[in-house]
Amino acid sequence: MLPLFAATIFLSAFLLFGVQPMFTKMVLPILGGSPSVWSIAMVFFQALLLAGYAYANLLASRLRSGVAIAVHVSVMLAAMTSLPISVVAFGDTDPSGAEAFWLLGVFTASVGLPFFALSANGPLLQVWFSRLGGKRASDPYFLYAASNAGSFLALLAYPLLIEPWLRLGAQSLLWASLYGVLGMAIAICGFFLIRRSRNVPAAHPIAGEGSNRRVTWQDRASWAAFAFVPSGLLVAVTAHIATDVASAPFLWVAPLALFLLTFIVVFRENSFASSNWFKATQVIATAFVFLVLLKGAETLALVTVHLSLFFINALVCHRALYERRPDARNLTSFYLWMSAGGVMGGIFSGLMAPVLFSGILEYPILLVAALAAGRGITWERVVSKEALPGLAAGGLLVLCGVLMLATDLARPGILFLTGVLLIILMIVSWRRAIGTVMIATACALTVTVFADLVVGSTSYRSFFGVNKVYESPDGQFRYIRHGSTIHGAMRIRTADGQPVTGRPEPLTYYTPFGSNALGIDGVRQARGGRLDRVAAVGLGSGSIACSIRDGEDWTFFEIDPVVTRIATNPALFSFMSSCAPKAPVVHGDARLTLQKAEKPFDVIFLDAFSSDSVPAHLLTVEALQSYSDRLWPDGAIVMHISNRHLDLRAIVARAAAEVGMVTYAGATESSGEGGAASVTLVIARQAEDIGRIAGTWTLIQPDMERSPWTDDYSNILEGIRDAWLGPKVDGVLIKPVQSVDARN
């Protein structure tokens, strides 16, 4: 029976984790492509997994095998009424202010029943296997590796094989077909269990694993605690990296795949994750990541650092779970409490942290908790004599950090001091004190918080991320930053410290000599020197408002009300109040709100990136068609695509070709006057509609061999590949974007 049960568990786990990125991608455009959509999805799936484990525990402990099998097969059949999976409408179509709970309702209505049925299969089939008798039936935990192998393969296959080749509709049909196969396999497993269990006694408890000891509430609490930390970290680290690259399946599944891989590695006898040298590696990696967090900037290379530390922490915590596993009689209870801890970790990072913290503090907090979990830290150990060196050094660290706050050396000083002291404390903890590392890292966390307050920054957090408003060290500029990307700046003082008065000057990507302003002005000149109606998608600091000319009617479209409050507050940024005091701001996803506009526009200016995350649903064929429908016949789309990680020229040009539009690209270099290097596309139905731009900017020829992005197909890996290797048309590398000279 082993091959049958292992294959069934494998297929169930494959479907369980395959549906997560598939359905989340379906629902992503509804809420503007926010990374928080995946965070909420994780909370939902963890909560339903808990419900499934509770249901499995009930069937295994309260019902006879025959009745339990009949009930579960009936539930599997009932879930087929929800197939094939699609987005089911739920409640108000405008969930402003309650996005998280509205999204939970959509997930419940759309995939709740099939996911619930699948989630019970893992522990339930392991219990059924244990009741078959035989040499391996007494310790069925090894089948958890088969379950996680299926999950791991699903998460790898989705971004690499399924997403690039199958559209969402085909994915849903394939998933439904495999679900039917699974239902038959479970019925067969149940049939053999009923047939054989009449003559085979129940499996014996695991020898040497505390089979004579009752499971206590302390045991259950420890199972939940060791599951809480890696689960919370899973949500936190995914949100952290998705904010600065893209909210897309390949970045969602990477942390989740590593999370599952740790179960495969450590749920067996003898694992390196229990060794002292591996726990020392955990300390070193944590210290390095804290330094990275202090530095602030993120790159694709640093993403691997965050993922590596997450993998180490999950290995340590999950190994601790395995070492505390009960005998087979309490298997479903073990998984139930482990799942409960996972749900609590997800709720902490996905739902509570955005309310409790104005910044992403849950990530460093959970890193500290992971260090404590890896060493079995108890309160008695924290207050022991062995912890005194850590207390002393940690107190010194905090004291020095506080003293540095009033100096210009605050951030580099804290950075250096944190690194030195943590290295010392790592050596101390390795040789002498178990609790020292936790105390020292907690102190580093405190200093990290202080460092964020050094320049007088204020964080504003919403469902769509964290926006930080802060001043430059010399006090001349005020910035707004989302994630690690600046989305606007304003000069507030002169070099001699005098307040700047009068009309504010746009900086960064929005200077009068930058490609965004030049693209808009090029279309303006083609229309006789004046635009009638303009739609600006994405507000930021409101800098682009100062590109408005007299008599022009601009409307701003912004998905995050918090950003609107920042941009329209003259005490923070005065672009809107000075240059467009009467311009309306429409809230909601631009693809939906633009369609409600009463009159067509001359220009749609699209600048809706969150940090460096790509709003893929705004770049699809359907999106460009919707923009085209809201333009006058000779109107144009001006799209800001500056990005550190992706080259979007070929992707956008290919989608534009599908709707009969041509694409031109221009770029400007950074300048010492507050300007930032930028890349902008101008998209129009014909070259004559954009005047001189057609003669001075680079025409991007569409690669018709490339599949265009659509609402049910997109591949962020294309953009990363193009950024590294350069986009090609017919095997020929697209030439670099032509740099435009604003003075000509």
Token readout for 510 is 């929005």
Placement of tokens 């394939």 in the chain: 174
- Count of positions (residues) in the chain: 744
Exposure of 114 in the CB half-sphere (CA atoms within 13 A)? 29
Please say if the pLDDT value at position 415 is more than 90.
no
148-180: pLDDT as tens digits: 888 889 888 888 888 888 888 899 999 999 999
Q: Which of 130, 310, 325 is nearest to 229 (CA)?
A: 310
Residue 64, classed as helix, strand or coil, is coil
Quick one: CA torsion of 78, 79, 85, 88, rounded to 10 degrees?
80
Q: How confident is the model at residue 574 (pLDDT cuts 50, 70, 90)?
A: very high
Hey, what amino acid is at 277? W
Which domains does the chain possess? 2-205+215-374 (1.20.1250.20), 379-454 (no CATH), 515-733 (3.40.50.150)
Q: Which of 399, 394, 450 is nearest to 425 (CA)?
A: 394
Strands (E), 377-508: 458-462, 465-471, 477-482, 485-491
pLDDT, position 285: 81
Distance CA 519, CA 517 (A): 5
Q: What is the mean predicted confidence (pLDDT) over 19-40?
A: 75
Of 2-6, 203-207, 388-392, 396-400, where does mean pLDDT reach its minimum? 203-207
Is the pLDDT higher at 37 or at 634?
Answer: 634
Residue 480, classed as helix, strand or coil, is strand
Is the pLDDT higher at 294 or at 41?
Answer: 41
pLDDT, position 94: 57
Residue 598 is classified by DSSP as S
Cis peptide before 84 (omega within 30 of 0): yes
pLDDT, position 537: 92
Is the pLDDT higher at 737 or at 666?
Answer: 666
Distance CA 183, CA 178 (A): 9
345-404: pLDDT as tens digits: 988 887 788 777 766 678 877 887 887 776 654 444 444 555 555 556 555 555 555 555
Hey, what amino acid is at 515? S
Token readout for 716 is 């962020």
pLDDT, position 95: 62
Q: Which of 334, 293, 285 is nearest to 314 (CA)?
A: 285
Q: How confident is the model at residue 203 (pLDDT cuts 50, 70, 90)?
A: very low
pLDDT, position 205: 43
Please say if the pLDDT value at position 450 is more than 50.
no
Q: Which residues pair with 460 in a beta bridge?
A: 467
Exposure of 520 in the CB half-sphere (CA atoms within 13 A)? 31
Placement of tokens 């039936």 in the chain: 137
Write b or e for each residue in 527-549: b if 16 or more Cβ atoms lie within 10 A of its Cβ, otherwise e.
beeebebbbbbbbbbbbbbbbbe
- Backbone conformation region of residue 497, classed left if phi is above 0, alpha if psi is from -120 to 50, else beta: left
Distance CA 39, CA 246 (A): 14
Task: Return the H-helix or E-strand segment holding 605.
Answer: strand 601-606
Residue 203 is classified by DSSP as P
Q: Which residues pair with 682 in a beta bridge?
A: 638, 664
What are the DSSP calls for 521-570, one per residue? HHHHHHTTS--SEEEEE--TTSGGGGGPPTT-EEEEEES-HHHHHHHT-T
Q: What is the mean predicted confidence (pLDDT) over 604-624?
A: 78
What residue spans of 28-120 are helical by DSSP H?
Answer: 36-62, 65-79, 99-119
Q: How confident is the model at residue 31 (pLDDT cuts 50, 70, 90)?
A: low
What is the tally of helices (H) and strands (E) in the chain? Answer: 27, 14
Please say whether the beta carbons of 238 and 251 come within 8 A: yes
Cis peptide before 205 (omega within 30 of 0): no
Please say if the pLDDT value at position 647 is more than 50.
yes
Distance CA 453, CA 456 (A): 5
Distance CA 516, CA 712 (A): 29
Which of the residue ranges 407-421, 478-492, 498-512 has the most confident prediction, judged by mean pLDDT?
Answer: 498-512
658-702: pLDDT as tens digits: 999 999 998 887 655 566 788 899 999 999 888 888 888 989 989
Q: What does each C-alpha distance from 500 to 492, 514, 619 come to in angstroms?
A: 5, 22, 38
Q: Which of 470, 451, 463 is nearest to 353 (CA)?
A: 463
What are the DSSP calls for 242-296, one per residue? HHHSBSSHHHHHHHHHHHHHHHHHHSSSS-GGGSHHHHHHHHHHHHHHHHHHHH-
Please say if the pLDDT value at position 653 is more than 90.
yes
Please say whether the beta carbons of 644 and 671 come within 8 A: no
The percentage of the chain sitting over the pLDDT mark of 70, rounded to a whole number, equals 74
Residue 102 CB contacts under 8 Å (≥ 6 apart), including other chains: 90, 91, 92, 95
Q: Which of 445, 582, 440, 578 is nearest to 506 (CA)?
A: 578
Distance CA 371, CA 734 (A): 48
Please say whether the beta carbons of 175 and 85 come within 8 A: yes
Q: Which of 72, 71, 185, 65 is nearest to 130 (CA)?
A: 65
Helices 388-404 and 436-452 pack at an angle, to 10 degrees, of 10
Q: How confident is the model at residue 310 (pLDDT cuts 50, 70, 90)?
A: very high
Please say whether the beta carbons of 159 and 145 come within 8 A: no
CB atoms within 10 A of CB 218: 8
Write b or e for each residue in 658-678: b if 16 or more Cβ atoms lie within 10 A of its Cβ, otherwise e.
bbebbbbbbbbeeeeebbbeb
CA 260 to chain centroid, in Å, comes to 17
Q: What does each C-alpha distance from 674 to 387, 499, 510, 741 come to in angstroms?
A: 49, 17, 10, 17
Q: What is the mean predicted confidence (pLDDT) over 76-102?
A: 79
Residue 493 is classified by DSSP as B
Across all residues in the chain, what is the average pLDDT? 79
Is the pLDDT higher at 91 or at 344?
Answer: 344
Q: How confident is the model at residue 47 (pLDDT cuts 50, 70, 90)?
A: confident
Please say if the pLDDT value at position 87 is more than 90.
no
Q: Which of 380, 254, 243, 378 is nearest to 314 (CA)?
A: 254
pTM: 0.68
Distance CA 688, CA 696 (A): 13
Please say if the pLDDT value at position 417 is more than 80.
no
Q: What is the mean predicted confidence (pLDDT) over 22-51?
A: 77
Rg, Å, the chain Cα set = 28
What are the DSSP calls for 634-676, one per residue? EEEEEEE---SS---HHHHHHHHHHTT-EEEEEEE---TTSB-
